[in-house]
Amino acid sequence: MRSGTGRSYTRAARLLRPSVQRRRDRMGNNMQDRIKVLGIVLKAEPIGEYDRRVVILTREKGKISAFARGARKPTSAFLAPTSPFTFGTFELYAGRNSYSVCDISADCYFEELRQDFEGAYYGMYFLELADYCTRENNDEREVLKLLYQSLRALLVPSLPRKLVRYIYELKAMTYSGECPQTFEQFSDWNLNPSTEYALQYVVAASVEKLYTFLLTEEVFAEFARVVTWLRKHYVEHRFKSLEILET
């Protein structure tokens, strides 16, 4: 394992405190029930003729669902920011059974990633895996940081995207408890010591230090083989975007 040129991105580490307002909005909702959360849109689906239901991975509330009225109208201010990949601050009205989107301040749309066919599918796979590995109303702050950093890492030319993928998979499974954090079960694989070190490093390292190394071809092949075995053994789910990437 040798040092690389991956950058550290810390914007996702911001902590926004829920804000309370006392007037009513134009729809008559009590603005005292509004909150602000920092997060990223994992997926969006149409509801009715013009509305959208979005799943947002947030720092304050974990994974939540929210409804955006009129978001699919061509003139809606919510048309772009309720799309997957949008990272920013979401102002939500907390109803009795669900959240409604009141306002969005987008910090990043990951446009460069969206416009790259291969990069877009890597990104969509990362969103899918984050959705699978997280639970509603659970503390998912580290997964949010991991997802944001990993999407940014896909844009770094010096970092091979396959390496970013396997690092992300291993760390996501570690955070979700989907796989063991030790690798004794691979003792009969005769792994290169550098491979073992890389695996342990990813499990133990902070998100900010994940994408700071490169691997030789031999070590990368072993690293990928181990992570793929773990994913297939412990994650019982088919990811559509991954299937496209692997065709």
Check residue 1 and give its pLDDT.
Answer: 62
Helices 117-133 & 161-176 angle (0-180, nearest 10): 10
pTM comes to: 0.86
Distances (CA, A) of 229 to 21, 101, 144, 185, 220: 50, 40, 24, 11, 14
Helices 193-204 & 161-176 angle (0-180, nearest 10): 60
Check residue 28 and give its pLDDT.
Answer: 52
Please enumerate in sequence order all residues whose Cβ is within 8 A of that of 158, keeping only pairs 6 or more positions apart, or say none: 4, 5, 6, 214
Gap between the Cα atoms of 88 and 12, Å rounded: 9
Give me the average pLDDT of each 10-residue run along the chain (247 residues): 50 43 49 87 96 97 96 96 98 90 97 95 98 92 98 97 98 91 91 97 96 98 97 92 92
Name the token pair of 171: 């760390």
